[in-house]
Amino acid sequence: MIKTGQDKPTQPEYLALRFLCKKLAGCVEHIIQTAVESGQAEYTVSYETVSEETGINVEFNDAILTAVHEMILERPEISALEASEKAFHLEVSQQQNSSERESRLPRFGDLLACEWTNLHLIHSELDQVPATIAKLSNITLTEYGRTAWTDVLNAKVKQIYAGPYGVQMEVTGVKASRLEEFSSMLVGDCTTEEFKMWVGGAIVLNQQLEKPCLG
C-alpha cells in the first residue's frame, strides 16, 4: 500500500516528533521569559530547574540539551549563551533588558489620579530647565486635551524626587520637545484658544479626585 502525504499526520512517529518540537519550543520560551523578567544582564538556570519547570529532561551532553541550546541562540533576546555541565548561562541583550524595565514603569497619565502641585517634568535624556506646573491632576485636561497630549500621558515615569527645582518627575518614552511643550502649555505658553480647548473648561471639578501626593 502506498502512503500519501495525507497519511503522515496520523503516523505515531510523526505525532511524537511534533509533540517533542512543541515541548522544546515551550521550554525555550520559558527559559528566555524567565531570564528577561529577572532584570539581570546575566542569568543562570540549572538543567534540573529547567526539567522541573518545563517537563523537558535536559542533561549535559545529550541531544535535547543541544537542541535547546541551538534554539536559544537563535533568539534576539539573548546575546550570549554557555552550556556548562550543570546549567545554562545566558546574557540578556542590553536593549531587551532596558525595554523590559521600561515596560514595568507606571504611566504618567495613571499618576494623575493624585493632585500634584509645583511639579517639574524632567526628560530622562535631556538636561533642561523645566517649567513649574502649579497644579496637575486627572481633572486638569479636557477630553480634547487628553487626546491631543496622549503621547505625553502614555510616557513612563522613571522616578519622582526632590531636586534642585523642587518636586521633579523624570519621564521617558516621549519626545523631549513634546514634554517641554506640554509643561509650557500648562503654564499658559500657548494661544488662548488652545488653552481653553485643552485645559479645564470641559471638566467639572470633583474634589474627591484631588488626592495630594507631593508638593
The predicted structure's pLDDT at residue 10: 55
SS3 168: strand
Share of the chain above pLDDT 90, in %: 44
For residue range 18-47, list pLDDT tens digits in order: 788 888 889 999 999 888 888 788 999 999
pLDDT tens per residue, range 150-175 = 999 999 998 999 989 999 999 988 99
CA-closest candidate to residue 22, choices 53, 56, 73, 51: 56
**Which regions of the chain are under pLDDT 50?**
1-5, 201-215
List domains and CATH numbers for the chain.
12-95 (3.30.1370), 104-209 (no CATH)
Quote the strand ranges of 78-208, DSSP E.
78-83, 87-92, 116-123, 133-136, 156-163, 166-172
